[in-house]
Amino acid sequence: MNLRKLRSSSWIYPTAILCLYGFFANCRPAEPFLTPYLVGPKNISEEVVTNYLFPIWTYSYLALLCPVFLLTDFLRYKPLIVLQGAALVTNYCLLSFTDSLAAMTALQVNYAVVTSTEVAYFSSIYSLVPPEHYQRATGYLRAAMLTGYTFGATLSQLLVSLAGTSLFHINVITLGMVSISLLVSMFVPMPQRGMFFKGANGKGDGREKEVEKQTSRSKVEKRGWCQGNGVVGQMWAALKEAYGSGRVVCWSLWWALATAGYTQVFNYVQLMWDHVEPSSSAAIYNGGVEAVCTLVGAAAAFGVGHVRVAWGVWGELCLGVFSAVGAGAVFLMAFTSSIWVCYAGYVLFKASYMLLITITTFQIAANLSMECFALTFGINTFIALALQTVITAIVVDESALGLDIVTQFIVYGSYYTAVSTVFFIKGLYTACSPHSRPSHPTPHTDVVSSQRL
């Protein structure tokens, strides 16, 4: 009985600490106003920000992602989470107290450290809590991140609109927030083992063994991990399990393609807003828009968790339809001269993406063990980032086309149109195929769980 109680309560502390860290690490009031801050107080031209600074982050992120992913497992997560907290503090020290272009260039490389170490935060929970609590813990982490981001965006908008706070002081406030996250990261527990690199004795801890005896998921884990010897063999076994399913490959393909386009729009939308309505000429509402986007996206994702749909039949068609909605929203932002229409297009675009990525995440996870899901998440992210790097190198970089922001958004809208067309056609074929229709849809595979949001 005592052992059972210990296992039941052992997930609460690491989940609470990671949620607290996630809240403060994502509570960054300055983020919605980064571009106005760079082109305003920092006196950097819009062209330099668009075609020089932001591409440096993309290239650095791609270079760091794979080594960081391997180091994350080898060092057992906590050191990388602490590194992310330290990089966030460095980020806002540079933004607050330096002005040179060289410092802003270093800032982009430093921010790549922040984003590449996110994999440690997302994956650590699966080595810190028993498998029976994976779903709840994942939902709590996602909620903490969304709450932190929404609170930060709302706070910044209130400070700018009602208190007239300067962007410099908002960056200083953000520095205080992320400093708390660094402090909290020190209290994150150190897992006894990684997914592929085991502990010192290579056997894991007693809790893991006990859980493996009592959960059906352990059967999947044992089958996957025992097919190879050593780290490389374990990874190869996990890859074969992850991408051996045609459904997983299909959903992962959309994940990579859509995320590449989404990240490009997310990275450059502030430049589009500044183009439509220069921040120096009127009040700006970037923080409010980001807060609304997060709430609307979270509501859409939560709502789909209560809709019973045979995703194996209609999922690909949904991907095509809502990707088309996203494409239309991007074109709307590109061609409008109204900042409010541009804001509305961004809300629609982000909400449709968050809706679909929630469905995609569940559909992939429903077909895999959580360890395979973490690896799949890393690979899908890498593919998306590689594709995004290609887009950046061709479309954005000043050494290539170096397109202006409006033309860029036309390209991004066309890209999303192509993605939506492919999945719409594939979805029609799947929906019309008699072999794709299950006789009895099951809640496990066909209903998105609201606890995963």
What is the enclosing helix (H) or strand (E) of 315? Answer: helix 311-335
Specify if 79 maps to a domain.
yes
Specify if 117 maps to a domain.
yes
Please tell me the predicted confidence (pLDDT) of residue 195: 59
Domain boundary among the residues 159, 178, 199 is at: 199
Domain with 86 in it:
1-199
Same domain, 171 and 277: no
Q: Which residues, in sequence order, are CB contacts of 451 under 8 Å at separation 6+? A: 135, 136, 138, 139, 305
Number of domains in the chain: 2
Specify if 36 maps to a domain.
yes
Reference 315, options 138, 438, 452; nearest CA is 438
Task: List pLDDT tens digits, range 142-193.
Answer: 788 888 999 999 999 999 888 888 999 999 999 999 999 999 999 999 876 6
Specify if 212 maps to a domain.
no
Same domain, 319 and 406: yes
Specify if 390 maps to a domain.
yes
Same domain, 138 and 268: no
Specify if 6 maps to a domain.
yes
Reference 114, options 60, 169, 183; nearest CA is 60
Same domain, 273 and 397: yes
CATH number for 270: 1.20.1250.20
Reference 105, options 190, 153, 48; nearest CA is 48
CA distance 237 to 341: 49
Same domain, 128 and 14: yes
CA distance 196 to 198: 6
Task: List pLDDT tens digits, range 309-348.
Answer: 676 777 788 889 989 999 999 999 999 999 999 999 999 9
Provide DSSP, 126-177: HHHS-GGGHHHHHHHHHHHHHHHHHHHHHHHHHHHHTS---HHHHHHHHHHH
Same domain, 52 and 133: yes
At 197, the pLDDT band (50, 70, 90 cuts) reads low
Same domain, 361 and 452: yes
pLDDT cut 70: percent of the chain above it: 78
Same domain, 282 and 431: yes
At 439, the pLDDT band (50, 70, 90 cuts) reads very low
Specify if 101 maps to a domain.
yes
Same domain, 190 and 254: no
Domain boundary among the residues 158, 180, 199 is at: 199
Least confident segment among 49-63, 92-106, 198-212, 290-304: 198-212
Domain boundary among the residues 199, 222, 250 is at: 199
Residue that the structure tokens 């609590």 belong to: 133
